[in-house]
Amino acid sequence: MDKDAFSVVLGAVPETTALLEQKWDHIFYTGGPAVGKIVMAAAAKHLTPVVLELGGKCPTIVHSSANLAVAANRIAQGRWLNAGQTCTGVDHVLVFKDVKEQFLSLLKDSVIQFYGKDPSRSPDYGRMVSERHHARIVGLLKSGEVFLGGQHDSKDRYVAPTILVNTPLDSPVMQEEIFGRSCLCWK
């Protein structure tokens, strides 16, 4: 990339605060609502346009007429990319009852195909970005019945690709609205 057009600044709160005091042509921010408010307030001082990606729910519907194998592969790839720490990864699936069991089987097969029978040993499966996020995700595992996965290791910040079933709509995992999920669930 052209170093006169783009630069990367590594840092935390002090560096970010200093950057936000500058006038920018446009700001893109991905993260949580608390910091999103800070970014928006800083941008408003200069009337800088902002794109905020603050998480949210990302449902998918699997219809009876779908190619279930293709759907399972695509959902698995999108959900567990970067250990589920993507803002647009599917976080719950609504599956037509007549194909639910077949789809679950295919989704399990997709996870094994991508990450092996023990994803903790896979070079392609990441870890939670922080201890805080790891603890939060582990807490969400109690939101439904574990169909696949559920294993976790706090020392390694590992949470297995997990499929929860029978998750009540008012359960914590269904209320979660920020990225860093490694669970996939549906009712």
Q: How far is CA 33 from the centre of its chain?
A: 15
d(CA 72, CA 182): 16
Phi, psi of 73 (to 5 degrees): -60, -45
Q: What six digits make up the tokens of 173?
A: 């995992």
- Active site annotation includes 177: no
- Active site annotation includes 145: no
Q: Which of 15, 21, 53, 145 is catalytic?
A: 53
User: By C-alpha distance, which of 20, 25, 23 is closest to 5?
Assistant: 25
User: By C-alpha distance, which of 91, 178, 89, 90 is closest to 133?
Assistant: 178
Beta partners for residue 56, in sequence order? none
User: By C-alpha distance, which of 174, 54, 71, 181 is closest to 126?
Assistant: 181
User: By C-alpha distance, which of 157, 152, 185, 183 is closest to 84?
Assistant: 183
Beta partners for residue 153, in sequence order? 158
Q: Which residues are marked as active site? A: 53, 87
